[in-house]
Amino acid sequence: MCGLVGAIARRDVIPFLVDGLRSLEYRGYDSAGVATLNDKGLYKQRAVGKVEALAQQLAATGMSGTMGIGHTRWATHGRPEENNAHPHVSTEMVAVVHNGIIENYEEMRRELQTLGYEFESQTDTEVIAHRIHHHLQSQHSLLAAVTETLKELEGAFAIAAISNEEPGRIVAARRGSPLVVGIGKEENFVASDVTALLSETRDFIFLEEGDVVDMTSEAVTVYNEYGRVAERPIQTSNVKKNAVEKGDYPHFMLKEIYEQSIALRQTLAPAIKDERLDEGYLGTDAEDILDRIERIHICACGTSYHAGVVGSYLLEKLGKIPCRVEHASEYRYRSPVVTDNTLFLVLSQSGETADTLAALRYAKQAGYAATLSICNVDSSSLVRESDLCFLTHAGPEIGVASTKAFTTQLMAMNIITLFMARRRGLDEAEEQRYLQVLKQASAAIEAALNLDGQIRDIAMSLADCSHSLFLGRGNMYPIAMEGALKLKEISYIHAEAYPGGELKHGPLALIDEDMPIVAVAPKDALQPKMKANLQEVQARGGKLLIFADQGSDFESANQSTVLKLPTVDDFIAPILYTVPLQLLAYHVAVIRGTNVDQPRNLAKSVTVE
């Protein structure tokens, strides 16, 4: 959570810092600030609300400087008020921006108070600024003072610091939260994410855990966790700037929904070699590891968790392998029993979600046969720390509500299922048939996108409701869960998902004419059961919106609206049925006038527990 950016150059960097913060707003957006060192000393400007509010204040003050740090905040300690916004400053000498949580900040705060430091915020970050200032009294440099401070901090975080005693220098550090250095010509940058730096450079150093970077406009030196100079490769990114721009779309979310057909194609293609799905795509040891696997244990958060649930249905049904799935935040606190030859599988768009990463690290100590991540960011911690990895190629996802990352995760789960199934009786011809089905997913999505106009019209009928219920059965249940999550995330309508068969065990009590029911009901083995469930709803006056397919005999009537999607193989139905639910949530949110790309209280990358 939170985004930080820093720059050191021979030109005014304030406009760049503001643009960088705009790109990072998806990480948090309740307040923002920048600090610079110029001939007048250390100068900071902070504003509550979005980066735009800060930009206006900066324009009014005319603040400029050839170096600086900036921050956009997602509040953890202390309300979103100006005094809690970053940068935090100690005695007009040191300024710090920080992403993550300092767990021992209370005791550090008490100690600093006894040393005479006064606190102006409720944040955990302010202790970092004061500690650095404190160490500067005895250390010879900002680098040494930051290094000393890092030894005292507990938690997961990334920081960047400046001091008016060394105006040509930024020192930044990574422990648990991502940080990337951008290399320019006589100028250098640091940020939580490459998206903030793409306007200036393509050359990046992805810092590793425990790294500290000492940066001037001419040089970048990285130190590892032991304080030794570390060689870190400069990697050239091929992410295009327009991949992180909205283009002609009103919102990133809509752009990303429409990009799904391409994203699926891009995700499938590299997993195919010589017309066969290639296990080597997961890593060099993949074949040997998968041969040994007898069980799979999946962990993830949010939307990625839903992809994991769909995966667990697939893996048991077609892959014939026992599989369980749970929220990463629950997993490591419940003393899980680890059985022999079990694969630990994590899914994450960002690869930086704190709970998922912690679950992976726990699992690595717990005796699993191997770890496998499904991830969209190849430079992420999750990818680096897993034995095997399936890289999805959704491209950068900016909208906080995940869309194309989810459907590409489903594609990855399909492919991994086939890897397991081929070991348990699926013959080559059948596998080839499934591969052809996977290749049809992109076209099916395009057909679903043609329903956009109809879905927008239907969205009007949901826009004024306060509650809604989403129903599905089998592998459509997790798709109903994902549809409900999308709606609540961006429209703030309370939405719950239930398996259709559970309706009579509680939620039926909620049904009346004010409770819309969204049902995902393709023609599959469970459709007759689902029909019976929906009749129970209709009999109680509930209004139904049913997503079915051309082959099913649902028809629109007084109380029910039916939207028909192309008929596809069950194997890719979860991918297809996700799309209309995303569009529904999107249009409802637009009608209600909420902030679609940056919904209140949420952030895209949750790097705190």
Q: Which residues are annotated as catalytic?
A: 2, 604
Q: Does 602 bind ligand G6P (CB under 6 A)?
A: yes
Residue 375 CB, shortest distance to ligand G6P, in Å, is 8
Q: Does 410 bind ligand G6P (CB under 6 A)?
A: no
The CA–CA distances, whole Å, from 294 to 177, 251, 325, 339, 420 equal 34, 44, 15, 9, 9
Q: Does 177 bind ligand G6P (CB under 6 A)?
A: no
| Radius of gyration of the chain measured on its C-alpha atoms | 25
Q: Does 348 bind ligand G6P (CB under 6 A)?
A: yes
Q: Does 475 bind ligand G6P (CB under 6 A)?
A: no
Query: Among candidates 72, 100, 89, which has minimal Cα distance to 162?
Result: 89
- In the bound state with ligand G6P, the residue whose beta carbon lies nearer, of 148 and 385, is 385
- Dig out the tokens for 420 from the structure: 């397991």
Give the CA dihedral 140, 143, 145, 147, nearest 10 degrees: -130
* 92-179-237 Cα angle (round to 5): 130
Cα separation, 270 vs 475, in Å, equals: 26
Q: Which of 123, 163, 329, 402 binds ligand G6P (CB under 6 A)?
A: 402
- In the bound state with ligand G6P, the residue whose beta carbon lies nearer, of 129 and 325, is 325
Q: Does 31 bind ligand G6P (CB under 6 A)?
A: no
Range in contact with ligand G6P (rule: CB under 6 A) among 128-136, 207-215, 394-402, 455-463: 394-402
- In the bound state with ligand G6P, the residue whose beta carbon lies nearer, of 193 and 200, is 193
- Dig out the tokens for 389 from the structure: 């990895």
DSSP element (H, E) containing 328? helix 328-331
- In the bound state with ligand G6P, the residue whose beta carbon lies nearer, of 458 and 608, is 608
Closest residue to bound ligand G6P by CB: 302
Range in contact with ligand G6P (rule: CB under 6 A) among 291-299, 397-405, 438-446, 503-511: 397-405
Q: Does 353 bind ligand G6P (CB under 6 A)?
A: yes
Cα separation, 499 vs 352, in Å, equals: 31
- In the bound state with ligand G6P, the residue whose beta carbon lies nearer, of 260 and 552, is 260
Residue positions counted in the chain: 609
- Residues sharing a CB contact under 8 Å with residue 95, sequence separation 6 or more, in sequence order: 35, 42, 44, 69, 87, 88, 89, 129, 161, 162, 163
Q: Does 379 bind ligand G6P (CB under 6 A)?
A: no
Range in contact with ligand G6P (rule: CB under 6 A) among 281-289, 385-393, 399-407, 442-450: 399-407
3-state SS, residue 561:
strand
Q: Does 356 bind ligand G6P (CB under 6 A)?
A: yes
Residue 5 CB, shortest distance to ligand G6P, in Å, is 20
DSSP of 346-357: EEESSS--HHHH
Residue 304 CB, shortest distance to ligand G6P, in Å, is 4
DSSP element (H, E) containing 46? strand 41-48
Range in contact with ligand G6P (rule: CB under 6 A) among 94-102, 229-237, 349-357, 546-554: 349-357
Q: Which of 133, 169, 543, 604 binds ligand G6P (CB under 6 A)?
A: 604
- In the bound state with ligand G6P, the residue whose beta carbon lies nearer, of 213 and 360, is 360
Q: Which of 195, 267, 350, 407 binds ligand G6P (CB under 6 A)?
A: 350
* 146-148-153 Cα angle (round to 5): 85
Binding to ligand G6P in span 252-311, by CB under 6 A:
301-304
Q: Which amino acid would we find at residue 539?
A: A
CA 284 to chain centre: 27
Q: Which of 266, 349, 578, 582 binds ligand G6P (CB under 6 A)?
A: 349
- Residue 55, classified by CB atoms within 10 Å of its CB into exposed (0-12), middle (13-18) or buried (19+), is buried
By the criterion CB under 6 A, which residues form the site for ligand G6P?
Answer: 301-304, 348-350, 353, 356, 400-402, 602, 604, 606
